[in-house]
Amino acid sequence: MYNLVISFGDIMNLIVKNEDFLLDYLYKNMDMPKKRIKQYLTHGSVFINNSKILKYDYKVYPGMNIFIDTNSNKNTFPFEILYEDKYIIVVNKPSNLLTIASSKEKEKTLYHILREYLNHKKEKVFIVHRLDKDTSGIIIFAKDEKTKNMLQDKWNSLVTLREYSAVVHGSLKEKKGRIEQNLLETKTNLVYVNKDGKKAITNYEVIKENKDYSLLSINIETGRKNQIRVAFSSIKHPIVGDNKYGIKDKETRLYLHANRLKLYYPYLKKEILFETTIPNEFKKIVREK
């Protein structure tokens, strides 16, 4: 027996009756296949109290108002597009979303969502670089293979700035610093400091702090896997929400965001700065104490 679901044209509405995770609650209380519910979530068609919700495991509580826009389709892209032309598209990836498919997840990826969006415009998409699943922020995709190869082959010379925002545990003694390490990766995809690894250089500056947390501006000179996460874990100030390299805390996302990227763009023959705002939750956690 399903809960009462009220329809208003292309909008479905239901009131939450019990605590649960969003995907599970919708599946249990709607006469709809789980795959279709996932599609609505992935494409930004689900709203709770007027806020767009994309996470399957978003916690819902009694009294919350869920709206589903069933008319939403793949002609709209659910995330912020920072720049787009005939050669590239630059987007702001949310946390908890893979850039590309893994052995466990094929469809709920940024690449998959973007491919469907561009397919309606008769355009293709190619991976240029990626962010960790848990890291949010700026990613560049190419629309043709020539552009993809050009950007990948000359990435280190074309990209002149890679800046991140992060919140770490504790108050850093040095408010501005440089972390130089050599990093290796295990067969289980865990990165660690080892003298035989590849050099990783991470620069940081404390922007704001309280007794528990520090908001940092981070600039990386190298692009090693999990570089920033390992760097701050190794100096005993792990990133908030980092269950892989840090400590278990109550946060549900990794507090790491790629917020500025400067690229010399050969097609325009000039540098372009792509920029996003620092996520509100980063500012809030430092302001709370």
Selection from 78, 172, 173, 81 nearest residue 116 by Cα: 78
Residue type, 105: E
Structure token pair of residue 255: 């507090």
| DSSP letter string, 66-128 | EEEETT--TTS-SS-EEEE-SSEEEEEEPSS-BSS--SS-SSSBHHHHHHHHHHTTT---EE-
Residue in 57, 85, 132, 212 annotated catalytic: 132
Q: Which residues contact 211 (CB under 8 A, 6 or more apart)?
A: 171, 289
Please say if 31 is a catalytic residue: no
CA 67-69-73 angle, to 5 degrees, is 150
C-beta separation of 233 from 249 below 8 A: no
Residue type, 111: Y
DSSP assigned state of 16 = -
What is residue 113's three-state secondary structure?
helix
Active site residues: 132
